[in-house]
Amino acid sequence: MGRASALRLAEEGARTVVVDVVPASGEETLAMVRAGGGTGMFLEVDVSDWVAVESMVQRVLGTYGAIHILHNNVGVAKMKSAHETSEEEWDYILRVTLKSVYLCCKAVIPGMIEQGGGSIIQTASVLGLDVSPRLAAYCAAKGAVVNLTRSMAKDYATRGIRVNCICPSDIDSPRRRANESEERRKFLLSRLPMDRYGQPEEMAEAVLWLASDASSYVTGAVLPVDGGFLA
């Protein structure tokens, strides 16, 4: 999803800063951006760490002078019920999925205020509003991301900063197709009125709309891009 978002925004002329903890993947995304005629850079950053996040923002401001769009797309899940979840697992999922959003926004917003505006998009999840078996920490984290989005939208609305989130349901991927059991697939599809998974490119279209001026009156929105899951 992050890759699709980077490519779509770059396609529309954005100078795209690709951020990931896995350099190989991040570099690959940047190469694809450039192959498509776009420009950008790759930064290896653990966005759950304040010092790293602050440094990331300084680097980007140093190179490009401004940050207009922030897409907080990182999240991790473990299929564990509450009583199966260890303290370490809880802390990890909440730190990477929720706290990273707080840290990146805290680092980026002051610059956006100075320049008179910006657009912040979170990849939340349908599981920030509704729930699923054996995903206790993940649902809690995504629920918090949704409401944090709404709060930030209200707090920064008069500063020209729009803050929104998208709620994907299940996304297709090569790894999923390789590893997923037929039983699990049947269960997931049974909840999707469109009877298929979403494509990362379909998420990227929503991100693009929210990032651009075309959505100029949209803030605090919790936009399902979910094949009808939440309907």
Partner 1 sequence: MRLRDRVAIITGAGSGIGRESALLFSEEGARVVVVDIAEEAARETAEMIGKDAVPIKVDVSRWEETEYMVEETVRRFGSLDILFNNAGIDLPQATTVVETTEADWDRILDVNLKGVFLGARHALPVMMAQGHGIIINTASKAGLRGPRRESAYGASKAGVVLLTRQMAMDYGSYNIRVNCICPGALEKPTIDRRTLLEQQPGALDERNRRVSQWVPLGRLCTAKDVAYAALYLASDESSHVTGASLEV
> Encoding tokens for residue 205?
């279209």
- 105 counts as binding partner 1 under rule CB under 8 A: yes
Helix, strand or coil for residue 197?
coil
- 55 counts as binding partner 1 under rule CB under 8 A: no
CB of 16 to partner 1, least distance (A): 24
Q: How many CA atoms lie within 13 A of 116 on its CB side?
A: 0
CB of 145 to partner 1, least distance (A): 8
> Encoding tokens for residue 5?
């978002």
- Nearest 10 degrees: Cα torsion 215, 217, 223, 225: -20
Residue placing its CB nearer to partner 1 in the complex, 141 or 207: 141
Q: Which of 45, 57, 60, 156 binds partner 1 (CB under 8 A)?
A: 156
> Rounded CA gap, 45 and 122, in Å?
17
- 136 counts as binding partner 1 under rule CB under 8 A: yes
- Pairing between β-strand 39-44 and β-strand 118-123 as defined by DSSP bridges: unpaired
Given a contact cutoff of 8 angstroms between Cβ atoms, the answer to whether 165 and 147 are in contact is no
Q: Among candidates 179, 69, 203, which has minimal Cα distance to 126?
A: 203
Identify residues 3-22 at the interface with partner 1 (CB under 8 A): none
- 229 counts as binding partner 1 under rule CB under 8 A: no
Binding residues for partner 1, how many (CB under 8 A)? Answer: 47
List active site positions: 138
- 109 counts as binding partner 1 under rule CB under 8 A: yes
CB of 96 to partner 1, least distance (A): 13
- Site of interaction with partner 1 (CB under 8 A): 50, 81-83, 85, 87, 90-91, 94, 98-99, 102-103, 105-106, 109-110, 127-137, 139-156, 220
